[in-house]
Structure 1
Amino acid sequence: MTRPLRLLTLGHSYVVGTNRRLAHAIAQAGAGEWEVTVAAPKAFPGDLGPIALEPFPGEMPRLVPVSVHGAGRVHTMRYGRHLRALLREGWDVVHCWEEPFVLAGAQLAAWTPPEARLVYATFQNLPKRYPPPFAWAERYALRRAAGWVAFGATVHDALRVRRGYEHLPVAVISPGVDTELFRPEAQAGARVRHSLGWREDGPPVIGFLGRFVAEKGLRTLIGALDAAREPWRALIVGGGAMEGELRAWAARREDAVRIVTGVPHHDVPAYLNAMDVLCAPSQTTARWMEQLGRMLIEAMACGVAVIGSDSGEIPHVVGDAGMIVAEADEAAWTRAIDRLLVDAAYRHVLADAGLRRVGAHFALPVVARRHLDFFQSLL
Structure 2
Amino acid sequence: MSYRKRSEGRFQDGQVSWQSFNGTPLGRGMLEHLKRVRQEIARFRPDVVWASSDMWHGIACSRVCSELKVPFVIDLYDNYESFLLSRIPGTLPLFKRACRRATGITAISEQLSHRLKVSYEIPADRILNLGNATNGQQFFRLDKDMARSALGLPRDSILVGTAGALGRGRGTEVILKAHPLLREQLPSLEIVLAGPMDASLKASSQDGVHYLGVLPPHEVPNFYNAMDVSLICNRPSAFGTYCYPQKLNEILACNTRLLAADVGEMSHLLARHPQHLFTAESEKSLADKILRLLDQATEPPLPPVFWEQRAQELSKFLQQRLER
| TM-score category of the 2 structures, normalised to the smaller one | 0.7 to 0.9
Take 1:51 and 1:225, find their aligned partners in 2: how far apart are those partners? 43
CA drift of 1:212 comes to 1.5
Query: 2:267: which partner in 1?
Result: 315
Take 1:114 and 1:50, find their aligned partners in 2: how far apart are those partners? 30
- Deviations along 1:137-175, one digit per CA (max 9) or x if unpaired, are 314422531110121110111121224524771111213
Mind listing any 5+ residue stretches in structure 1 that lack a counterpart? 1-40
Query: 2:128: which partner in 1?
Result: 171
CA drift of 1:90 comes to 0.8
Maintained 8 Å contact 2:78/2:239: no
CA change 1:180–1:320 in 2 (3 A) is farther
State whether structure 2 residue 315 is matched by structure 1 residue 377: no
Maintained 8 Å contact 2:108/2:244: yes
Maintained 8 Å contact 2:11/2:18: no
- Corresponding letter in the other structure for 1:307: L
Maintained 8 Å contact 2:167/2:201: no
TM-score (norm 1): 0.71
- Corresponding letter in the other structure for 1:223: K
Query: 2:290: which partner in 1?
Result: 337
Secondary structure at the counterpart of residue 69 of structure 1: coil
State whether structure 2 residue 12 is matched by structure 1 residue 69: no
CA drift of 1:366 comes to 1.5
CA change 1:80–1:190 in 2 (3 A) is farther
State whether structure 2 residue 324 is matched by structure 1 residue 367: no
Query: 1:86: which partner in 2?
Result: 40
Secondary structure at the counterpart of residue 160 of structure 1: helix
CA drift of 1:94 comes to 0.7
Query: 1:111: which partner in 2?
Result: 64
Aligned residues: 309
Maintained 8 Å contact 1:196/1:258: no
TM-score (norm 2): 0.82
Take 1:118 and 1:290, find their aligned partners in 2: how far apart are those partners? 23
CA change 1:235–1:50 in 2 (3 A) is farther
Query: 1:289: which partner in 2?
Result: 241
State whether structure 2 residue 117 is matched by structure 1 residue 160: yes
CA change 1:319–1:219 in 2 (3 A) is same
- Residues 254-265 of structure 1 mapped to structure 2, 5 A cutoff: 256-265=208-217
CA change 1:263–1:216 in 2 (3 A) is same
Query: 2:279: which partner in 1?
Result: 326
2:152 is matched with which residue: 197, 216, 226?
197
State whether structure 2 residue 178 is matched by structure 1 residue 221: no
CA change 1:164–1:339 in 2 (3 A) is closer
- Deviations along 1:321-369, one digit per CA (max 9) or x if unpaired, are 66011212221211111123343x23xx23xx44xx21xxx21121111
CA change 1:51–1:185 in 2 (3 A) is farther
- Corresponding letter in the other structure for 1:98: S
Maintained 8 Å contact 2:235/2:261: yes
CA change 1:260–1:90 in 2 (3 A) is same
Secondary structure at the counterpart of residue 179 of structure 1: coil
Take 1:182 and 1:174, find their aligned partners in 2: how far apart are those partners? 17
Take 1:324 and 1:318, find their aligned partners in 2: how far apart are those partners? 7
- Corresponding letter in the other structure for 1:257: V
Query: 1:133: which partner in 2?
Result: 90
Maintained 8 Å contact 1:178/1:364: yes
Take 2:88 and 2:306, find their aligned partners in 1: how far apart are those partners? 37
Take 1:209 and 1:269, find their aligned partners in 2: how far apart are those partners? 10
CA drift of 1:44 comes to 7.3
- Corresponding letter in the other structure for 2:46: W
Maintained 8 Å contact 2:140/2:254: yes
Question: Which structure carries more strand by proportion?
Answer: 1
CA change 1:126–1:150 in 2 (3 A) is same
CA change 1:90–1:309 in 2 (3 A) is same
Q: What fraction of aligned residue pairs are identical, expressed as a percent?
A: 18
CA drift of 1:316 comes to 2.7
Secondary structure at the counterpart of residue 241 of structure 1: coil
CA drift of 1:55 comes to 6.4
Query: 2:220: which partner in 1?
Result: 268
Take 1:124 and 1:199, find their aligned partners in 2: how far apart are those partners? 36
CA change 1:127–1:107 in 2 (3 A) is closer
